[in-house]
Each structure stands twice: as structure tokens, then as C-alpha cells.
Structure 1
Amino acid sequence: MTSLSTFTLPDHTQLPDSDGKFVKNLQEHPQSILITDSIKPVLEQLHPDGQYCIGQDSGIYWRLTDPPEKGALSPDWFYVPNVPPTLEGKMRRSYVLWKEYVAPLIVIEFVSGDGSEERDKTPPSQGEVGKFWVYEQAIRVPYYAIYEVLKEQVEVYHLIDNTYQILQPNERGHYPIKPMGVELGIWQGWYQNAELPWLRWWDAQGNLLLTGEERAEVERHKRERIVEKLRTLSPEQLNALGIDAQMLD
């Protein structure tokens, strides 16, 4: 018999990293990439030491159960500040709260059904525990967002006095996530060859946070405009600027 003094709680390498379920729809994967790619420059500014973790459809173990996966939830997207992205040189298989003691700052769920699963407040005393209850009462995630592509909306909750309060959108229709200095909202446009009401980030001034590909496209257009302006100059004017006219051909 193992005594309590010698019992060691399992870590991420000893717990299941999948429950064998399929991703519920084909939009979830590109949606995760979109919000991860576009928020990366912000997180690099917030964490110049690189100490942050992003989970995409990854498990968060919040209690020890048998079987272990019963004590885990797999949010579609979450961000944890001030923790290393790797442990002992290995990528995390899951995020284990009893080993970290740091809750995610924000959790985002992508609704595939009617949204009841994401809003389920059932406590453990009444049977199968609900996601909403776990995020609010067990993990205590400061911000919880429920994104519904079919309804073209996102619902954001803020933990205040241990209770989720629904946030009201600002004048831009966005939801400020103040610790990150960004806003969350719906953007109608093309991404990954699909025009949908995508979930996206904006900065505190209301500027859309771009993906790496979008930033490269903006820079390309800037360069093209500069070249077009230079082509209106005479060879003498270009020479005065130290530019060879042949370089613009």
C-alpha cells in the first residue's frame, strides 16, 4: 500500500493527451491558427522572456480522477501567462494544474452544437460536471469566451468576485481583454479560402491584429506603391536619390 507521504501526482507525461474524439468541424483548426498567429507579436511584447503557453484543443487537467481524462477539459484555445512553453526540453502533452498552479488567463470554446455544452453550469454534486462550472468555479479562468460561428457572435465572461459576469461590447462591438491589451470580436472576411465571421483580435485602439501572411501582404503593397512613385521621377531625380533607374524595371 502506498502511503500519502510517498504518493506523487502524475505530470503531463503520465496523463492521456487525447480522448480519441474527432475535431467537431473543419473550421476549428484554421480558427485556432488565425487567433494564435495574429496574437503572437502581442504575446512576445508581453513576455520578452518567452514564458507563456498557448493550448489549441489541448487538455487541462483540473482534478485527479479514474480514468484520468474524466478530470480534464480540452478547450479549443487557451493562453497561460508566465509559464514555460516546454518542460525539461519537451513540448507539453497537456496542462496539469496541480503541477503548475497557474490558471489560464483566457479560455475560448468554439461552439459546434447549440451552445448548451459550453454554458453548462452543472456542479459535481449533480452528476456530470459542466464546462461553464469548471472554468468558473474550479479552474477560475479570468476570461471565458464562447464563439458561435453560425450565430456570428462571441460571448465573453469576466470572473468577478468568483462569479462570471457577461461583458458588454464596446463602441466597436469588441470585448476588451485588459490584461493582454487587446480586444476580441467578430470579423467578416476571407481566411483559409473561406469567407466566414471569424473570431479575431484587435489592439486597444481598434486596429485589427494581422497574421504573418497578412503583414507580409501589407508590406508588399507598400513596396509596390513606393516603386510606382519612384517611376514617376526623372533619371536625374533618381540619381540624386542614389537609385539606379534600371532597378525599377
Structure 2
Amino acid sequence: MTSTSFSAEVGAAFPDHTQLPDSDGTFVKNFQEHPQSILLTESIWATLQALHPEGDFCIGQDSGIYWRITDPPERGAEAPDWFYVPHVPATLDGQPRRSYVLWREHIAPLVLLEFVSGDGSEERDKTPWTGKFWVYEQVIRPAFYGIYEVKKASIELYHYVENQFQRVPAGDRGHYPIPQLGIELGIWHGTYQNMELPWLRWWDLNGNLLLMGEERANQETERANQETERANQEAQRADRLAAKLRELGIDPENP
């Protein structure tokens, strides 16, 4: 499509998510990124459902946010590794979203996260109109922008305040609070999908890790096993006491 024809179509109507590319044709940088996104989404899902009982929110995972009209269109988009937008429908006209078109919905993400694969310069690039940091700070303006580096097991979290990003200090637990959600963001050292890494995860404000479904199921199984073990121990103690009573000539069934 030529620049002239694209501009003519734009003059008639702004394109929507069905008319814009849903990929820029690049590969995901490594095998950790998709599991990391799934881990973040699954563990925060119950929290978001409680905050949005009507289901009016969406989560993007390596999905495009269109912030300006360009030719080709994908040059006017950024594709964060993970982001959450409140107060918007999960689908549009009954269709899954192909991208998030900022000029149509006007609501900025509350949380936007980038997973660093290189040296982190791309995620911190403040070059006007092309740098990710500049675009996020000056145009998209998420309330919180996080830069996660798995190689360094580190997070930089920025809060959008008075037209600029301000660095958020870590709390006593080394986590970063997001008060609007009542949660904290931090690093969890553990194994997920056969990879032992410093993963990016959520905690509640009391320091309790937000669990995935499998973790909750394992926790319930462990709790049930502990209850069974306690019941068995109580039964064994009762049997030993009954045996002692019988040695003393006392019938425990008819004392």
C-alpha cells in the first residue's frame, strides 16, 4: 500500500484492529518469554476478575499497541511483552483482539512490561519517536512501566507522574507495589515449565505469592495430605492409649 492510498483511507476512517497487522514478522526472542507471560497472566487472573466482575479488562501478550498512523502501519506500533488495560471489553464486536488501537479506545494500559533479551538499551531508548522508553512515556503513558532482565534477576519499575516516568523504589521485601491492584511485582527464584530461573511474579500486599491454578491445586493436595497424616497420627495415638488401658485391665470401650 502506498503512502498516498493509506492516507486517503485514514482520512475516511481510522483503521481498527481488524485492518491493522497483528505481527511485525519478527521472532520471539527466546523460549522463556511466552512462559513468563503465561505465568504473569494466570497468577493475576483471579485478582483482575475480582476487580472487574463484569470482565471489562484485557491483557496483551507480545501484542501490538498502535499509537500513530504510519506507512507501513506496523511502524506506528509497539509490542510490549505483557500489558493490562482496565475498563475496556475483552473482545470487540465478538471478535478476539488482534491488537490494541490506542486512538480508538483512548485508555492507557495500567501496567506495561518488557522482558529484556539483549543489553536493555532498546527498552531504555529515549530517542524521540522511535525509542521504546520515549514512546511509552510520551505517548502510550502506562501508569506503570516495568523492565525485567532475567539475566540480572532484576526489575526497574517506573510510575507515570506529572507527565514523566519516575523510578519506583523497592519495598522491604524487594518487591515493587502497584497500589491500584493491591499487589506487588517481584522476582521469584523457582522452576516453571522445566526452567529454573528468576521469574517475574506477583505477590499480594502481605507478601503472599499469587499462585497459578496448578500451584493452588498442589497446595490443596498438600493440605489434604497433611490433614490425612494428622488424622492417622491421632488414630495411632488413640490405639496406643486403648492398648495401655487394656494392659491395666480397663476396657476402653466400657470404662
- TM-score, reference length from structure 2: 0.87
Taking the aligned partners of 1:215 and 1:122, their CA distance within structure 2 comes to: 44
Residues of 1 paired with 2:235 and 2:179: CA distance?
51
| Structure 1 position 99, deviation (Å) | 1.1
Indicate the residue corresponding to 2:58 in structure 1.
Answer: 53
For 2:93 and 2:162, the matched residues in 1 are separated by 36
User: Residue by residue, what CA displacement relative to the aligned partner does 1:133-189 show, whole Å, maximum 9, x if unpaired?
Assistant: 111001111100000000110100011101111111000000001111110011111
Q: What residue in structure 2 maps to residue 172 of structure 1?
A: 173
Distance in structure 2 (CA, Å) of the matches to 1:110 and 1:55 = 14
1:85 matched residue in structure 2: 90
Aligned to 1:39: 44
Moved over 4 A (4+): 1-6
Q: How does 1:1-249 map to 2 (within 5 A)?
A: 7-124=12-129, 129-234=130-235
- Identity level (%): 62
- Residue 63 of structure 1 aligns with an amino acid whose one-letter code is R
Following the alignment from structure 1 to structure 2, what is the Cα–Cα distance between the partners of residues 186 and 100?
32
Q: Which amino acid aligns with 1:176?
A: P
SS of 1:210's equivalent in the other structure is coil
CA–CA distance in structure 1, aligned partners of residues 229 and 158 of structure 2: 48
What's the secondary structure of 1:109's corresponding residue? Answer: strand
Give the whole-Å Cα distance in 1 for the aligned partners of 2:10 and 2:75.
Answer: 25
The CA deviation at 1:232 is 3.4
Farther off after superposition, 59-68 or 226-235: 226-235
- How big is the alpha-carbon RMSD for the aligned residues of Structure 1 and Structure 2? 1.8
Q: What's the secondary structure of 1:172's corresponding residue?
A: coil
Q: Which one has the largest radius of gyration?
A: 2
Q: Distance in 1 between the 2:116 and 2:233 partners?
A: 53
- Show the counterpart of 1:246: none
Over 3 Å counting, the alpha-carbon distance change for 1:23 and 1:173 in structure 2 is same
Greater per-residue helix proportion: 2
Decide whether aligned partners of structure 1 residues 199 and 233 sit closer, same or farther in structure 2, where only a CA change above 3 A counts: same
Residue identity matched to 1:88: D
- State the one-letter code of the partner of 1:145: G
Cα separation, 2, equivalents of 1:168 and 1:195: 26
- In the alignment, the residues of structure 2 paired with residue 4 and residue 148 of structure 1 have an alpha-carbon distance, to the nearest angstrom, of 41
Tell me, which stretches of 5 or more residues in structure 2 are unaligned?
A: 239-255
Gaps spanning 5+ residues in structure 1: where? 238-249
Helix, strand or coil for the counterpart of 1:117? coil
Q: Secondary structure at 2:174's aligned position in 1?
A: coil
Normalised TM-score (structure 1): 0.89
The AA in structure 1 aligned to 2:217 is A
What secondary structure, in the 3-state scheme, does the structure 2 residue paired with 1:119 have?
coil
Displacement after TM superposition at 1:231 (Å): 2.4
State the SS of the aligned residue for 1:98.
helix
